[in-house]
Amino acid sequence: MSKFLNLKKYLDKKNCLKIICGANNEDYDEIKKIVALYSKAGCRFFDINASYEAYNSSLEGLKFSNCLDDNHFICISVGVDDDVHFRKCLIDEKICNKCGLCADNCLQKAISDFKINEKKCIGCGSCMENCPSGAILSYQTGKDFNEFNDLFLKVDCVEFHISSSNIDEIKAKWQNLISSFDGLISICINRAIFSEKSMLELIHYLIKTHPDIMIQADGKSMSGSCDDYNTTLQAVAFGDLLKKTQINCPIFISGGTNSKTKELLNILSVDIDGISIGSYARKIVKDYIERDDFWNNKDVFYAALEIAKKFVYKITQNN
């Protein structure tokens, strides 16, 4: 069976889990560790930055855990130019008062000595929101899809982020994408950007022009740092809305997803095909994967693996 069919079969199972390493996360060492850990813990689907370095790191992670096979899937994230998933932040040192609040609020631990490590920054914006001096700026890092042509031939899925209201740009990029990639496309859509009518019109247009899609309903992008119902509620509500429109493709939810997401889906009887989890999944193992002895000290790796396994089980168990 081809790998594409394996992926479609996996999505048919429901209770799927996609671990998000971060669309704009260029910390390749972290990507390798996250993929190694969560594939060993039972996750089969990973979402990574669209770069050869991130792709190779993900393969190394799968290889480490003996999961480099036709049943583990890699998705790369691409998007339109003003999408928040493709921004990074920097500190204006002339304005910074060196209070340190930004570093305290950075889940990626990308800030030290009042500087942001560009590779680690995922553009979540938490530092900007917490800076009392307005010293943090953001910039976009979008790339031309032509840069990924060879990568499109290797990956199992491409995630197309459309948290932008520029429909013409979305359609132009989409046409560019589907002329270069003929596999499964995950459409990651931000509910806050569109009216229900314009969102559904857009989804129908995308499905009509490329039927092999899944949709990732993005509640509050990159906000999964808290483990409570409130953080995950928006994603659950959005997934419910899409399910009720009976769009005929797998529906995942993301954005604020955490260990309460599955529980909330069950309480509210929302029938979803899969949950994509990024910030929270990385946060719970962060202290371990940051250690230099992660690969060599079995106690460290297995302590992180226990956490990952419990989490994967909680998200993927049957109701």
The binding site for ligand SF4 (CB under 6 A) comprises 89, 91, 96-102, 105-106, 108, 110-111, 114, 116, 121-127, 131, 133, 135-136
- Tell me the C-alpha distance between 34 and 19, whole Å: 8
25 vs 51 by CB, closer to ligand SF4: 25
40 vs 282 by CB, closer to ligand SF4: 282
Enumerate helices (H) and strands (E) in the chain, giving the number of each.
13, 12
CA distances from 118 to 83, 137, 139, 165, 185 (A): 17, 13, 11, 27, 27
Q: Output the smallest distance, CB 25 to ligand SF4, in A.
A: 9
61 vs 123 by CB, closer to ligand SF4: 123
Q: Output the smallest distance, CB 51 to ligand SF4, in A.
A: 17
6 vs 130 by CB, closer to ligand SF4: 130
Q: Output the smallest distance, CB 123 to ligand SF4, in A.
A: 5
Q: Do residues 252 and 208 lie in contact, with contact meaning Cβ atoms separated by under 8 Å?
A: no
Q: Output the smallest distance, CB 130 to ligand SF4, in A.
A: 6
- Tell me the C-alpha distance between 317 and 319, whole Å: 6
Q: Output the smallest distance, CB 280 to ligand SF4, in A.
A: 14
Rounded CA Rg of the chain: 19
Q: Do residues 159 and 96 lie in contact, with contact meaning Cβ atoms separated by under 8 Å?
A: no
44 vs 220 by CB, closer to ligand SF4: 220
Going by C-alpha positions, the residue among 5, 7, 14, 6 that lies closest to residue 253 is: 14
